[in-house]
Structure 1
Amino acid sequence: MGQLGPTWEKVKLTNLMTVDLLPYGNSRESQAESKWTFECQHGVNECWGNLLETCVIHYYPNTTQHLDIIRCIEEDFVITMGYSWKDTLSKCSQSHGVDISKITACTEGKEGNSLEHIVATFTGAHDYVPWVLIDGKHDADAEKNLLTQVCKAYKGTPPRVCHKLL
């Protein structure tokens, strides 16, 4: 969220960008009988975090809302080192109005498993994370200055937030 959160706060009331967040990282998936299994670079807690965020995005499709919830989740997960995704969800639901039962059912059930598989199919090849795409192309400069790169790529009259950057 280092670049995405602050950039989104500056542009969320404009039509400058849309965000497709894919919580998958450097995971690998395989199919075991009727469900998918995921192996994450940083272990099982990262996999639970990815799944939790995928369910949040599904049930809270408004970008501002799910980014606020995910920022809360990631901040708490870093503090607790991923100790308990349920505790993290509980803390974040209080400040962001998350329906805990809906997200828990998604995270623990077939729905979340299926949604995470969809995220896996959309993630595509990448060398590291975050892997930022602008107009479908990797943009390494956006990882350091997302707002400038989005403003440069914008077709049309750029909003005021871009004026000093271009």
Structure 2
Amino acid sequence: MNCRYRAVVIIVITLSIWGVIHFIYNLPSDVSSKFDLTDKIKLTVYYEALCTDSKFFITRQLAPLQDKIPDHITIELVPYGKAVTIESAGTIIFQCQHDELECYANKIHACVIDSVTDPSIQLKYVACMIKNNQNPDEIAEICGKQLNIDHLPILICAKEDKASQLLKKHGERTHALNPPVSFIPTIEINGSQDLAPLSKILKNLKQTVCSLFETRPTGCDN
């Protein structure tokens, strides 16, 4: 093989490799984010119990979406928000955006999430409580009775050290977010904040999630 022919071959191979790389990196952004109907999209919701935006998102968008496409999503709730965890002499205390009442309500939510293993019922319980969390004990009892769940172990949990440990873990997860929380609620899709802008998720969760499927699930169009 003479030098000229070898040089031509090298150029052709180099251009071919560059073309493949260019093609991959310039694919439309939604191509890599499409999911099959056999897949489940995981939504992780970082929220706080007395946040109006959290209440609207959970009751008006998240819970209705769960009802429409339950076989295509899984939901993980992380109650903590913009709180701060302070540990001193073996004691854990929290400073919450909406004061001590929210810290206590967050603890009740954490105990619900820990004790109610059915994800659908868990979301229904949280959605019921967040509608009116100004009296956390009372609303936990009311929602427990509506869903046929014994609320007493949940309230006992909320007043014990276990609730502080649970809330601390939710705080660790929240503070580990990258990029960090700037708005509550913050939502991850499959563990990422990059699959869709938060503004788009908050505006229309159903449309955002349904657009990620190659074929729209039944329930997305009604």
Same fold (TM over 0.5): yes
Unmatched runs of 5 consecutive residues or more in structure 2: 1-57
Q: Partner of 2:131 in structure 1?
A: 75
Q: Which amino acid aligns with 1:10?
A: K
Q: Partner of 2:206 in structure 1?
A: 147
Q: Partner of 1:42 in structure 2?
A: 98
Q: How does 1:100-139 map to 2 (within 5 A)?
A: 100-123=151-174, 124=177, 125-138=180-193, 139=197
**For 1:129, what is the secondary structure of its paired residue?**
coil
For this pair of structures, how many residues does the alignment match? 156
Q: Distance in 1 between matches of 2:90 and 2:128?
A: 32
User: 1:102 Cα shift?
Assistant: 0.9
Q: Distance in 1 between matches of 2:91 and 2:169?
A: 12
Q: How does 1:83-94 map to 2 (within 5 A)?
A: 84-94=135-145
Checking the alignment, whether the CA contact within 8 Å between 1:7 and 1:147 is kept in structure 2 is yes
Checking the alignment, whether the CA contact within 8 Å between 2:112 and 2:122 is kept in structure 1 is yes
Unmatched runs of 5 consecutive residues or more in structure 1: none
Q: Partner of 1:11 in structure 2?
A: 69
Checking the alignment, whether the CA contact within 8 Å between 1:30 and 1:38 is kept in structure 2 is yes
User: 1:92 Cα shift?
Assistant: 1.4
Identity percentage over the alignment?
A: 24
Checking the alignment, whether the CA contact within 8 Å between 1:3 and 1:144 is kept in structure 2 is no
Q: Distance in 1 between matches of 2:102 and 2:149?
A: 20
Q: Distance in 2 between matches of 1:135 and 1:67?
A: 18
Q: Which amino acid aligns with 1:152?
A: S
Q: Distance in 2 between matches of 1:35 and 1:151?
A: 44
Stretches (4+) displaced over 4 A: none
Alignment RMSD, CA only?
1.8
TM-score normalized with structure 1 length:
0.85
Q: Partner of 2:119 in structure 1?
A: 63
Q: Which amino acid aligns with 2:96?
A: C
Q: Partner of 2:12 in structure 1?
A: none
TM-score normalized with structure 2 length:
0.65
